[in-house]
Structure 1
Amino acid sequence: MEPFTLATATAKVQSAEDAWNTRDPERVSLGYTPDSRWRNRDTFLTGRDAIVAFLRDKWSRELDYALRKSLWTFGGDHIAVRFQYECRDAAGQWWRSYGNELWEFADDGLMRRREASINDVRIAEADRRLFGPRPPEEHGRDIPLR
């Protein structure tokens, strides 16, 4: 794999955001190597089957999920991103989750390692700002800190 450029790193981040916003675990898993290793909060996973199971469970609890990712930095075969997503739980409480991810890629361009640190903040429904996938005219826009 060639080292990332600003254009290819930005495209990789948008592609990941687009895939996650489908909430289709099988589709999302195809962006990762078959033996990809993850840390997501306090959960450690290895392999696509584990990723699919994890995402199925996640999206069964995190309803109306909408995600935004923003390129933080990149170098060689690594990318760091900031992200925010909003969802509601079964009781109707809305949440905004803030986080950072560290990504490492294999020679074929698939992600072989993902480490995610995430914090959750309760929000009122009136404070939501993410409604479904990002429209194309907003691609590349940074996400606000708060």
Structure 2
Amino acid sequence: MTAWVLRATVLGALVVALRLLLGFAMASAPTYGTIWRAGCLVVIVAVVVAWGMRDGRSGTAADLTVRWLAAGAVAGLASGAVCWVLDQVPGIELGDAGALFELTSAASFIMLLIFLPALVGVAFGRRRARRTPESAARVSEPEFAPAT
């Protein structure tokens, strides 16, 4: 399985699970809607940033921008389609959005919600990976003193 397919599958499933959880939470306690939405947003962003940092620290020279863009696009489209299908099931409330909305606006929002924090995580991970060996080398290697 290619790297972007794994990311798209896991993150798309996470988005669907969080939207289902949000739908049930909003049905049971609608007055806490802002807190529920913010919590779901924080979970998605935290998972994506952590995964991006892991990619950045791995030290591969692969183009992570295209990998994360493809993962975000597929996760956004797939989660939008799955959420639209689940919204047709009686008893599951996900906001009654139409297929056009789910496959355009919601999908592009999810794509950006995955892509941008992932690149921040990659940049932070690469920066930390660059600093770690240098600082360890400075501490462990003694100063060179020529013999006279």
TM-score of the two chains, using structure 2 as the length reference: 0.32
The structure that is strand-richer by fraction is: 1
The structure that is helix-richer by fraction is: 2
TM-score of the two chains, using structure 1 as the length reference: 0.33
Indicate the structure whose relative CO is greater, using CA pairs within 8 Å and at least 6 residues apart: 2
